[in-house]
Amino acid sequence: MRTVIVHYHLFKNAGSTVDGVLSRNFPGEQHGHIEGPYPWSTVQPQELVEFALANPTLRVMSSHQARLPLPQHPEIRFLPILFLRHPIDRFASVYEFERRQPVDSLSPSVVIARNGGLAEFAKWVVSEEATAVCRNFHVAHLANAQHDMRTARATHEDYLSALRHLESLPVFGIVESFEESIDLMQALFGPHFENIDFAYSNENVTPGRHATLSERLAHIRTELGETLYRNLLEMNSLDMLLYEEGRKLFAAALQARASLAAAQAQPKGFRRRIVRALRGTPSTSA
């Protein structure tokens, strides 16, 4: 069976660094990109299937606009790469990125970012005129319930759908735990791709950013002031829920990986019992 990696390149979620890794491992026609016609378009799972079938040399496809659930096809095994990021930290990164874009960009957020500071950008984000670029962006993206990101407004039902989609993935990453995420992906993809190497160098990083998440959040809070910061949090309340649940799932995946590694270092009979326990399989006598 052919295996194809789908890189869900969520905007400002370490996607450029991941794309660098994938391009190095899968050069040329092995690494394809698929996007819709506009910055606010979406690419549906069946379109990913069709793209893979139309490109038989393809081993990786990257897309900013691809939506879950993971595609299904009897002759292709699709494996995901997807990262979550703290919504408020991501907000500041989006602002810094958008303000450096060309003035003729079609993205509505570029105009706002180019013409004002971080507080002005936050005021736009919490206004009715804003797109979903920094308003529960992860939930709107992962739920795949609304297909125009200019007007998408995530609901609690969207949050539940997004969480179900996240839970269905064999692995996903957290930007703030990037190295551990890469280790999990190396373990998942290694058996399917001989010699795949997830060594990386950081790309497209915001210049001058503070080193730690807590420092960055404190800086954003100071820049916005208490009222605007609280309003921004409120407009990303569903994303904050998804992020916290995602971190719990991620921590459980790390623990399972560590337990499996410890079991593999033990004698054979003991190892079989540990692996059965991790899988929830009843133990039988050896």
Give the Å distances, CA to CA, from 111 to 114, 136, 137, 152, 205. 5, 21, 19, 19, 21
Bridge partners, residue 63, by sequence? 8
- Show contacts of 152-159: CB within 8 Å, 24+ apart: 154/238, 154/239, 155/238, 156/238, 158/238, 159/238, 159/241, 159/242
Long-range CB contacts for residues 208-214, cutoff 8 Å, separation at least 24: 209/93, 213/86, 213/89, 213/176
Q: Are strands 31-33 and 60-63 parallel, antiparallel or unpaired?
A: parallel
Residue among 70, 69, 84 nearest 3 (CA): 70
What is the pLDDT at residue 278? 56
Query: What pLDDT is attached to residue 285?
Result: 39
Residue 81's DSSP bridge partners are: 7
What pLDDT tens digit does each residue of the chain (286 aa) get? 999 999 999 999 999 999 999 999 999 999 999 999 988 899 999 999 999 999 999 999 999 999 999 999 999 999 999 999 999 999 999 999 999 999 898 888 999 999 999 999 999 999 999 999 999 999 999 999 999 999 999 999 999 999 999 999 999 999 999 999 999 999 999 999 999 999 988 776 666 678 899 999 999 999 999 999 999 999 999 999 999 999 999 999 999 988 887 877 777 665 555 556 555 555 443 3
The torsion angles phi and psi of 250, rounded to 5 degrees, stand at -65, -45
Given this model, what pLDDT does residue 207 score? 67
Please report the pLDDT score of residue 203 as a whole number. 72
Per-residue pLDDT, 13: 97
The pLDDT value given to residue 276: 60
> What are the CA-CA distances from residue 192 to residues 41, 42, 79, 187 (Å)?
31, 28, 10, 10
Cα torsion 117, 118, 124, 130: sign = positive
Distance CA 278, CA 286 (A): 17
Q: Is 172 helix (H, G, I), strand (E, B) or coil?
A: coil
pTM tops 0.85, yes or no: yes
CA angle at 196 for the pair 201 and 90, rounded to the nearest 5°? 40
Angle at 258 between CA 254 and CA 260, to 5 degrees: 115
Distances (CA, A) of 248 to 114, 160, 165, 245, 251: 37, 16, 15, 5, 5
pLDDT value for 42: 95
* For residue 69, cis peptide bond before it (omega within 30 degrees of 0): yes
Kind and range of the H or E run holding 86: none
Q: What is the DSSP letter of 66?
A: B
Angle at 155 between CA 150 and CA 158, to 5 degrees: 95
d(CA 178, CA 183): 9
